Amino acid sequence: MTQRGTLGIAVIGTGRMGADHVRRITEVISGARVTAVADLDAERAKQLAAGIDGCTAYTDPSAAMAADDVDAVIIASPGPAHEAALLTAFEHDLPVLCEKPLTPDAASALRVMEAEQKLGHRRVQVGFMRRYDAEYLKLKSLLDSGELGRPLMLHNRHRNADVLPYFTEQMLINDSVVHEMDVARWLLNQEITAVTVMKPKPSGNAPEGLSDPQFVVFETDGGTLVDVEIYVNCRFGYQVQAEAVCENGTARIGEAHGMLVNTAGRWGGSVAPDFVERFVDAYDREVQAWVDATLRGEVTGPSSWDGYAAAAVCEAGVRAQAEGRRTEVRLIERPALYR
């Protein structure tokens, strides 16, 4: 610990999410402080570090993780850079909160799990923050209580106002639908066994080369059907909704937020502009839970196994999307460390 009872954290990748986590650790949560930031963009890291007492800027993530005042790591670089950062964190036996996706494909996720198993203990929490959202937590506890009976179907809507120009068809699955892969597995306590992707005629708002929206269906080993409407250029705001249809009732989350206003012959509320606003409390709770567990010497939350399972479903999803046919998901047997 760099200071008594305070975790010194290195944040790797200081773009949108990394910078937001730095702000959160510095201003919102307790028990931790940012002692290092690393970004390939030296200027970006330097600017962020300049505002924080005792924080050093690096361009090399390995140098940041080797620093004496670093006790734990948040990885917020792009998905393809996660494997290398995770393996370096393991070399220093550091606890890690790794933004989703754990890695972009199943083979690299398997390598990460193998390296973690060699350490002999769990080190990774994956940043599937919806598991910390108040509404998702309520839905999970209702489903787990059995009050509604067995879940038959789970309908999901995932809408972003827009995405950056480099957003690809594959990212629709790997960056966006990956959240529904995780929440479906978590809410239902089931594994996803097959994926089908269908595409309506694209929206006029979709950029050239991106077929948007898409409709994704998961089959599960418990016989529940899960569908996801993913629409990343809906223009009107950020919306994430889920409805569980069970034997004895249904439960829906993500419908309304904030104040309801009546005016000029209309009524209504507002739609969050982006995930940073919609899930602010979930991100806060996620990072605080990670810091608290780390200070207790524990690792909780979504594991590398969850990251691997999602990566395997993503791989099947990308194939289903490209080939236009139902694609099965194959998982290895769950290693003892993750049972």
Ligand X SMILES: O[C@H]1[C@H](O)[C@@H](O)[C@H](O)[C@@H](O)[C@H]1O
Q: Is 132 in the site for ligand X (CB under 6 A)?
A: no
Distance of CA 124 to the CA centre of its chain: 13
For ligand X, what does the binding mask look like between residues 265 and 284, x meaning CB under 6 A?
A: ----------x---------
Does position 12 interact with ligand NAD (CB under 6 A)? The reply is yes
Stretch that binds ligand NAD, among 10-18, 184-192, 210-218, 224-232 (CB under 6 A): 10-18
Q: Which is nearer to ligand NAD, 18 or 307 (CB)?
A: 18
**∠ CA 175-38-84 to the nearest 5 degrees?**
55
Residue 162 bridge partners (DSSP): none
Per-residue string for binding with ligand NAD, 39-78, x by CB under 6 A?
xxx--x----------------x--------------xxx
- Of 127, 151, 302, 317, the residue at the interface with ligand NAD (CB under 6 A) is 127
Work out whether 17 is an interface residue with ligand NAD (CB under 6 A): yes
Which partner in ligand X, ligand NAD, none is near 160 (CB below 5 to 8 A by kind)? ligand X
Window 236 to 255, contacts with ligand X (CB under 6 A): none
Q: How many residues bind ligand X (CB under 6 A)?
A: 6
Q: Please list every residue from 261 through 300 that binds ligand NAD, using CB under 6 A.
A: 275
Binding-site member from 175, 180, 229, 315 for ligand X (CB under 6 A): 175
217 belongs to the binding site for ligand NAD (CB under 6 A): no
At closest approach, how far in Å is the CB of 88 from ligand X? 23
**Gap between the Cα atoms of 163 and 206, Å rounded:** 10
Per CB under 6 A, 176 contacts ligand X: yes
Spell out a b/e string for 236-273, using b for 16 or more CB atoms within 10 Å of the CB, else e: ebbbbebbbbbeeeebebbeeeeeeeeeeeeeeeebbe
* Contacting ligand X within 147-166 (CB under 6 A): 160
What, of ligand X, ligand NAD, none, does residue 15 touch, CB below 5 to 8 Å by kind? ligand NAD
Contact characters 87-126, ligand X, x per CB under 6 A: ----------------------------------------
Shortest distance in whole angstroms from residue 117 CB to ligand NAD: 23
CB 219 to ligand NAD: min, Å? 25
Binding site residues, ligand X, CB under 6 A: 160, 175-176, 179, 232, 275
